[in-house]
Amino acid sequence: MAAIGMLGWQAHATSSTVVVSPQAIPHDARPRIFLAGSIDMGKASDWQQQVIAALGSSDVVILNPRRADWNRAWKAELSDPHFAEQVNWELSALDQADVIVMYLAPGSQSPVSLLELGLHARAGKLIVLCPDGFWRKGNVDATAERYSIERATSMDDLIQRVLHRLGERPRS
């Protein structure tokens, strides 16, 4: 019999499902983890792959907004259908997520991630890693403190906190 985790889900499968924008988001009982944070038009490291690998044996749906086919020529305007599709997928995925993992990389700006932090600060589903060197770390820390947002101290700590939130034992 599978154990029921802190969020009340029961584990049946032995691997995660990764959904990348603009793929359809499954509507099943598995918890959904949204990977918010630094992408910076592809300039930030692909930290999402580290989280995906770490959660690979968890029975979750991982919602990844980083897409291989992103085209920098798309205009950041709703009149551009590709841009509108991306933004609407991200907003829907964030709303449907049970846990929002947010990594704000040192040296990045991540303005959309800051917007997402503000949108979901009161939702109780954020876990944020904002190391020294992120340009607005003070603002992130103040917001996290004000709204009791869970904070991680390293990428490993972030992953362990996600596992704990899912009710899984920390991995070494």
Cis peptide leading into residue 65 (ω within 30°): no
What is the reported pLDDT for 134?
96
Note the pLDDT tens digit of each residue in 107-125. 999 999 999 999 999 999 9
Instruction: Answer whether residue 79 is part of any domain.
Output: yes
Q: What is the average pLDDT across 144-149? A: 98
Residues 6+ apart with CB under 8 A from 45: 38, 105
Note the pLDDT tens digit of each residue in 30-63. 999 999 999 876 677 899 999 999 999 999 999 9
From CA 13, how far away is CA 11, in angstroms rounded? 6
Instruction: Answer whether residue 53 is part of any domain.
Output: yes
Instruction: Answer whether residue 115 is part of any domain.
Output: yes
Instruction: Answer whether residue 138 is part of any domain.
Output: yes
Q: What is the average pLDDT across 59-80? A: 94
Whether the per-residue pLDDT at 6 is higher than 70: the answer is no
Give the number of domains in the chain.
1
Its domain, for residue 102, covers: 17-165
Instruction: Answer whether residue 4 is part of any domain.
Output: no
Three-state SS for 24-62 is CCCCCCCCEEEEEECCHHHCCCCHHHHHHHHCCCCCCEE
Instruction: Answer whether residue 9 is part of any domain.
Output: no
Instruction: Answer whether residue 131 is part of any domain.
Output: yes
3-class SS at 139? helix
Q: Indicate which CATH number applies to the domain containing 86.
A: 3.40.50.450
